[in-house]
């Protein structure tokens, strides 16, 4: 949604992004081939004859003088478990109907249903010699549903998971974790097990990062740091669970006890999937709320969601906590929801608003606050909705707060709202270029907007860019944002308050963010009227419906 | 009242058990103090990280698992343990009290029934296992490992079943849910985190036999993971519910319905639904549909006078229902909700007099609740309520389903009585 997430959204173990993509680029195909050969070489020592013949045979295949009779049955049970669980997790994940695509920022490779059963692989790493450990993922990877090119993906997954397991097992055995008596020696066994889990994660991450870089150059640059920085935690967790399975299995209670350990994991995966379904449903509900407003106020189509997006850009720039960002996103999206309480004919009126009508419009932040009051998760964002028409100079509404008295969220939403209003095309005027809108925001920083928020938005735009709405209506007049004339004081207020723009005789409308000098105008002496006129003339623009402070 | 009896019986028996265990431990002395301290510490921590679960259930999964593990603990790191049922019960009770102290100090209202349930459940698990183990009977049987594990599973399953029955009995009396329904609801809830708790408790006690006290922190980690997932899930469920309520308030803010109408209809429909033994999931969907039943009015040009749709011609009601269901279809709530609202204005039975199976129960319930709220208006006095109820009874030929109206009558009576 905010430019994060989409890149890493592709399933990590099935690289190659979109289904229609047919052939892998030659580099990627070569990479797959190399990994496949390496995996095959790792598995070869399983054959007792080759174990002595190959130089790495004893290292990977275990000591031929001490064959383990239970080895094959363990491989079979683990492989079956992994295939079954993986199947279950994937089936639930994709079969649930609504899928929250892009809802979550950047999932990591150790999350998501397909990674939930890595502990089974890691149990294999601990229990089996390296060659055998490489086989555990094989049936699961080959049977897993995959997008075309199906065979390539499946073989690739089997090979890369096998190679990762094999390397991890080598590390485990090299650090002295071999043999059953050592397994129960706590906490000594934790070191080799942890090292093995980290190795598994690193090899898996590097291979996956490599194939993604080869298959889709440029799109996955974030992935590397992601794989290397965020994996260790979950990897250690999964390693621990794998070790516990192995401990229970090696003990007197056998595989039954080991399977019991998978129950909490399965419950977690199930709940995780439920969470995603519900999260998607929640987003749809928020959208429906917005749509209800847009039925009434069709000028603002999709405006709300873009305000939410711009607010998130600002919030990230200000390094807000993720939960605050999430609630700010929803608050930005819902900032105009109170317009539901404004009579439709007022919202759609094509002409100057009367005082009464004007006041009805100015009530919308309070209506909005009333509506979202019950949504606990929005927290302080509810005040953001209530105060998003306040100005830092204190001339906004509903409460006329000034400066830092205005909640931070409200200051963010005000800037995001103004920015999107200026850059998007409306039926009565074409959207302005970004640089003009930014210049206008900067000009009004300090009077209408919090300069810190404007700066944050400008920095975010530099970094991430912004896609303004595609001009759907080419007939919209192209009106510049307004001349940069010095402000003229209003005769009536005496407060030095600049008043708004006037409607052009030709019926053209202008958009500008803050005070604009009026020409000779009969309404000049009536600030409220002048403001309301401007509110009308700037419908949908940042200053639209900014009432005069004299109202209070 | 009968219901009060169940709750106090449960609490009294838990209290008596605690008292007995304290006496028994005081007389016989406590054994294996180090082990008890470790498990006790874990139960306290588990209590501290308790989390709300879907369906208004409060749980401390970690605490419950640790208590179950202690109840089922045989050998520890290859050595025998000697604690009996009394010590298990006392430790569990004491640890719970200790873990709940911060919440009590913070003024959080805690449910004493949860406490009582845990004590009884753990006592059952311990009573089934510890005497057999401590008397040496299990050792004499020389059970193979897997059979021993199965035995423990059976024991844990019995304890879980007791917990389900207790929870169902308590829930049934508190929320006026029929007992059968309550048992089914609790069983469904058990399948979720309940299995994870039971499995973790067993695995910890089995693993402790192998690797000693290390099993406690290690083997409860997966459960902690489940608990975090559940916490997130519960939070998003609550948020979704609140957002739907906001959407429902849209009609009020826009001036189409009277303030609080949607909320009142939802609450009344919920009570009728419980009276009619709907399941938890059905009740949630019923609540969504009731909250949003008037949403179609947003598409009307002129508000209905007083928002009272019950007095409109059927064709108009039908149209509002259809319009509403189109909005609801986009909200991400399950599709049954939209269907319920679309069929709100349909007669509940066909021309031949039989109930139309195509009209969901929820539609009939909301229709009655809505009509009741529209007709009573702000006048909540019992006389007016009886009058409206009589009025609805007159129209049961086609409009209002008699069973639902009867349920409404019982709900009103209970409301007046309590």
Predicted confidence (pLDDT) at residue A96 exceeds the cutoff of 70: no
Report the distance separating Cα A12 and Cα B232, nearest Å.
24
Q: What does the pLDDT read at residue B301?
A: 65
Mean pLDDT of A85-103: 50
User: What secondary structure letter does DSSP report for A354?
Assistant: P
Least confident of B9-13, B46-50, B260-264: B46-50
Whole-angstrom CA distances from A478 to A393, A432, A505 are: 30, 8, 16
- Alpha-helix runs per DSSP H in B260-381: 261-275, 280-291, 314-329, 335-342, 361-376
Cβ neighbour number for residue A528 with a 10 Å cutoff: 19
Chain A closest CA to B231's CA: distance in Å? 10
Of A264, A372, A374, the CB nearest to B223: A264
Enumerate the residues of chain B whose CB falls inside 8 A of the CB of residue A367: 253
Mean pLDDT of A491-514: 35
What pLDDT band is residue A182 in, cutting at 50, 70 and 90?
low
Q: What does the pLDDT read at residue B380?
A: 67
Q: What does the pLDDT read at residue A220?
A: 55
Summarised one tens digit per residue, pLDDT across range A46-55 is: 777 776 777 7
- Cβ-defined contact of A251 to B145 (cutoff 8 Å): yes
- Cβ-defined contact of A257 to B203 (cutoff 8 Å): yes
Site of tokens 């302080």: A380
B240 touches chain A (CB under 8 A): yes
Chain A closest CA to B180's CA: distance in Å? 25
Summarised one tens digit per residue, pLDDT across range B186-217 is: 888 888 788 889 999 998 998 888 888 888 88
Enumerate the residues of chain A whose CB falls inside 8 A of the CB of residue B243: 282, 285-286, 289, 375
CA gyration radius for chain A?
31
The highest-confidence range among A372-386, B265-279, B326-340, by mean pLDDT, is B265-279
A213 touches chain B (CB under 8 A): no
Cβ neighbour number for residue B46 with a 10 Å cutoff: 26
- Cβ-defined contact of B240 to A263 (cutoff 8 Å): no
Q: What does the pLDDT read at residue A12?
A: 34
Element (H, E) at A31: helix A26-43
Task: Give the whole-number percent of chain A exceeding pLDDT 70.
Answer: 66
pLDDT, averaged across chain A: 71
Enumerate the residues of chain A whose CB falls inside 8 A of the CB of residue B330: 284, 287-288, 291
Predicted confidence (pLDDT) at residue A19 exceeds the cutoff of 50: no
* Neighbouring-strand partners of residue A498: A489
Enumerate the residues of chain A whose CB falls inside 8 A of the CB of residue B253: 338, 340-341, 367, 370-371
Beta strand ranges found along A254-372 (DSSP E): none
Between B74 and A475, name the one with better pLDDT: B74
- Cβ-defined contact of B214 to A187 (cutoff 8 Å): yes
Predicted confidence (pLDDT) at residue A505 exceeds the cutoff of 50: no
Q: What does the pLDDT read at residue A229?
A: 61
B298 touches chain A (CB under 8 A): yes
The highest-confidence range among A10-14, A26-30, A221-225, A500-504, by mean pLDDT, is A26-30
Q: Label residue A176 left, alpha or beta by phi (over 0 means left) and psi (-120 to 50 means alpha).
A: left
Of A264, A284, A372, the CB nearest to B225: A264
Residues 6+ apart with CB under 8 A from A329: A1, A308, A309, A311, A312, A315
The highest-confidence range among A329-343, A366-380, B88-102, by mean pLDDT, is B88-102
Whole-angstrom CA distances from B275 to A278, B166, B416 are: 28, 20, 15
Q: What does the pLDDT read at residue B329?
A: 85
Predicted confidence (pLDDT) at residue A212 exceeds the cutoff of 70: yes
Whole-angstrom CA distances from A58 to A46, A48, A271, B401 are: 10, 10, 43, 79
Q: What does the pLDDT read at residue A539?
A: 39
Chain A closest CA to B247's CA: distance in Å? 6
Q: What does the pLDDT read at residue A23?
A: 66
Q: What does the pLDDT read at residue A100?
A: 33
Closest by CA to B22, choosing from B82, B72, B73, B91, is B91
Site of tokens 């990994």: A35
A6 touches chain B (CB under 8 A): no
- Cβ-defined contact of A272 to B330 (cutoff 8 Å): no
- Cβ-defined contact of B332 to A285 (cutoff 8 Å): yes
- Cβ-defined contact of B200 to A271 (cutoff 8 Å): no
Which of A253, A280, A339 best tests the B interface by mutation, with the highest count of B CBs <10 A? Answer: A253
Mean pLDDT of A421-435: 76
Closest by CA to A110, choosing from A220, A202, A214, is A202
Cβ neighbour number for residue B409 with a 10 Å cutoff: 18
Mean pLDDT of A132-159: 84
∠ CA(A436), CA(A438), CA(A439), 5° rounding? 65
Mean pLDDT of B387-402: 83
Between A338 and A179, name the one with better pLDDT: A338
Predicted confidence (pLDDT) at residue A422 exceeds the cutoff of 70: yes
A16, A218 contact by CB (below 8 A) = no
Q: What's the ipTM?
A: 0.79
Exposure pattern of A182-202 as b/e (b: 16+ CB <10 Å)?
ebbebeebbebbbbbbbbbbb
What pLDDT band is residue A218 in, cutting at 50, 70 and 90?
low
Q: What does the pLDDT read at residue A495?
A: 35
What pLDDT band is residue A230 in, cutting at 50, 70 and 90?
low
Mean pLDDT of A389-399: 88
Inter-chain CB pairs, A–B, below 8 Å: 179
Element (H, E) at B53: strand B51-53
Predicted confidence (pLDDT) at residue B12 exceeds the cutoff of 90: yes
User: What secondary structure letter does DSSP report for B183?
Assistant: H
Summarised one tens digit per residue, pLDDT across range A448-489 is: 899 999 999 999 888 887 776 654 444 545 544 443 333 333
- Cβ-defined contact of B214 to A278 (cutoff 8 Å): no
Predicted confidence (pLDDT) at residue B116 exceeds the cutoff of 80: yes
- Cβ-defined contact of B203 to A260 (cutoff 8 Å): yes
Summarised one tens digit per residue, pLDDT across range A246-255 is: 888 877 887 8
Residues 6+ apart with CB under 8 A from A227: A108, A109, A205, A206, A208, A209
Q: What does the pLDDT read at residue A376?
A: 80
CB-count exposure of residue A486 (10 Å: 0-12, 13-18, 19+): exposed
Element (H, E) at B59: strand B57-59
Mean pLDDT of B227-246: 86
Q: What is the DSSP string of A279-294?
A: HHHHHHHHHHHHHHHH
A111 touches chain B (CB under 8 A): no
Summarised one tens digit per residue, pLDDT across range A362-385 is: 888 998 888 888 888 788 888 889
Q: What does the pLDDT read at residue A181?
A: 57
What pLDDT band is residue A179 in, cutting at 50, 70 and 90?
low
């Amino acid at each position: 949604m905010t430019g994060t997430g989409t890149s890493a959204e592709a399933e990590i173990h099935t690289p190659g992004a979109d289904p229609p993509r047919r052939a892998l680029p030659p580099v990627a195909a070569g990479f797959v081939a190399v990994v496949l050969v390496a995996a095959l070489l790792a598995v070869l020592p399983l054959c007792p004859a080759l174990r002595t013949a190959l130089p790495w045979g004893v290292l990977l295949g275990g000591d031929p003088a001490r064959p383990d009779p239970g080895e094959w049955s363990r491989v079979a049970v683990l492989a079956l478990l992994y295939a079954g669980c993986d199947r279950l997790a994937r089936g639930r994940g994709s079969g649930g109907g609504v899928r929250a695509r892009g809802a979550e920022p950047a999932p990591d490779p150790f999350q998501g249903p397909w990674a939930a059963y890595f502990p089974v692989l890691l149990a294999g790493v601990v229990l089996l010699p390296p060659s055998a450990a490489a086989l555990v993922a094989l049936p699961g990877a080959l049977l897993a549903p995959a997008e075309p090119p199906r065979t390539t993906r499946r073989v690739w997954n089997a090979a890369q998971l096998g190679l990762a397991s094999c390397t991890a097992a080598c590390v485990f055995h090299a650090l002295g974790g071999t043999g059953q008596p050592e397994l129960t020696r706590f906490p000594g066994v934790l070191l080799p097990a942890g090292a093995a889990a980290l190795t598994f994660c690193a090899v898996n991450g590097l291979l996956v990062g490599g194939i993604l870089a080869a298959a889709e150059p440029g799109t996955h640059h974030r992935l590397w740091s992601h794989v290397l920085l965020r994996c260790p935690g979950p990897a250690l967790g999964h390693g621990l669970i794998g070790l516990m399975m192995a401990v229970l299995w090696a003990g007197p209670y056998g595989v039954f006890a080991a399977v019991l350990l998978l129950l909490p994991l399965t419950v977690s995966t199930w709940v995780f999937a439920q969470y995603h379904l519900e999260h998607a449903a929640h987003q749809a509900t928020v959208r429906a709320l917005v749509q209800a407003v847009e039925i009434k106020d069709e000028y603002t189509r999709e405006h709300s969601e873009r305000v939410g997006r711009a607010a998130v850009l600002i919030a990230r720039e200000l390094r807000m906590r993720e939960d605050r960002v999430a609630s700010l996103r929803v608050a930005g999206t819902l900032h105009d929801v109170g317009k539901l309480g404004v009579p439709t004919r007022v919202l759609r009126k094509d002409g100057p608003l009367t005082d009464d009508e004007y006041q009805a419009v100015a009530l919308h932040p309070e209506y909005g606050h009333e509506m979202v009051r019950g949504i606990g998760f929005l927290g302080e964002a509810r005040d953001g909705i209530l105060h998003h028409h306040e100005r830092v100079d204190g001339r906004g509404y509903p409460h006329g707060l000034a400066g830092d008295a205005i909640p931070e969220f409200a200051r963010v939403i005000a800037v995001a709202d103004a920015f999107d209003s200026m850059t998007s095309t409306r039926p009565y005027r074409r959207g302005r270029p970004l640089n003009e809108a930014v210049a206008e925001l900067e000009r009004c920083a300090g009077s209408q907007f919090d300069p810190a928020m404007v700066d944050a938005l400008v920095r975010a735009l530099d970094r991430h860019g912004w896609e303004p709405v595609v001009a759907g209506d080419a007939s919209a007049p192209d009106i510049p944002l307004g001349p940069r004339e010095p402000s003229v004081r209003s005769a009536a207020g005496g407060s030095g308050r600049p008043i708004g723009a006037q409607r052009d005789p030709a019926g053209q409308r202008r958009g500008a963010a803050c005070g604009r000098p009026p020409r000779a105008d009969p309404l000049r002496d009536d600030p409220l009227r002048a403001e309301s006129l401007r509110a009308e003339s700037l419908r949908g623009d940042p200053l639209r419906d900014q009432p005069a402070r004299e109202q209070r | 009242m009968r219901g009060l009896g169940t709750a106090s019986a449960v609490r009294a028996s838990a209290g008596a058990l605690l008292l007995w265990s304290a006496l028994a431990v005081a007389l016989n002395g406590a054994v294996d103090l180090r082990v008890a301290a470790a498990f006790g510490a874990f139960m306290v921590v588990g209590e501290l990280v308790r989390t709300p679960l879907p369906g208004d259930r409060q749980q401390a999964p970690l605490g419950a698992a640790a208590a179950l593990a202690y109840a089922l603990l045989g050998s520890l790191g290859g050595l025998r343990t000697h604690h009996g049922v009394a010590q298990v019960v006392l430790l569990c009770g004491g640890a719970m009290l200790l873990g709940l102290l911060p919440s009590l100090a913070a003024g959080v209202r805690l449910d004493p029934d949860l406490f009582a349930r845990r004590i009884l459940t753990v006592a059952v698990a311990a009573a089934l296992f510890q005497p057999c183990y401590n008397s040496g009977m299990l050792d004499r049987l020389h059970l193979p490992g897997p059979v021993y594990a199965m035995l423990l599973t059976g024991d844990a399953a019995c304890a879980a079943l007791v917990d389900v029955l207790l929870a169902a009995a308590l829930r049934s009396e508190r929320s006026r849910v029929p007992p059968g329904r309550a048992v089914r609801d609790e069983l469904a809830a058990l399948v979720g985190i309940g299995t994870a708790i039971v499995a973790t408790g067993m695995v910890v006690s089995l693993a402790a036999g192998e690797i000693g006290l290390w099993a406690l922190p290690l083997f409860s980690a997966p459960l902690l993971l489940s608990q975090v997932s559940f916490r997130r899930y519960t939070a998003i469920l609550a948020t979704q519910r609140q957002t739907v309520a906001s959407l429902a308030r849209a009609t009020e803010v826009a001036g189409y319905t009277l303030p609080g109408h949607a909320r009142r209809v939802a609450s009344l429909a919920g009570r009728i639904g419980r009276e009619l033994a709907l399941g938890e999931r059905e009740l949630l969907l019923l609540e969504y549909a009731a909250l949003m039943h008037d949403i179609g009015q947003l598409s009307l040009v002129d508000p209905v006078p007083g928002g009272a749709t019950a007095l409109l011609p059927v064709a108009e009601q039908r149209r509002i229902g259809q319009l509403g269901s189109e909005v609801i279809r986009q909200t991400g709530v399950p599709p049954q909700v939209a269907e319920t609202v679309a069929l709100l204005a349909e007669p509940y039975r066909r021309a031949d007099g039989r109930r139309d199976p195509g009209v969901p129960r929820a539609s009939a319930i909301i229709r009655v609740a809505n009509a009741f709220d529209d007709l009573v208006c702000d006048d909540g006095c019992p006389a007016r309520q009886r009058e409206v109820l009589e009025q609805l009874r007159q129209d049961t030929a086609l409009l209002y389903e008699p069973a639902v109206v009867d349920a409404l009558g019982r709900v009103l009576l209970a409301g007046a009585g309590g």
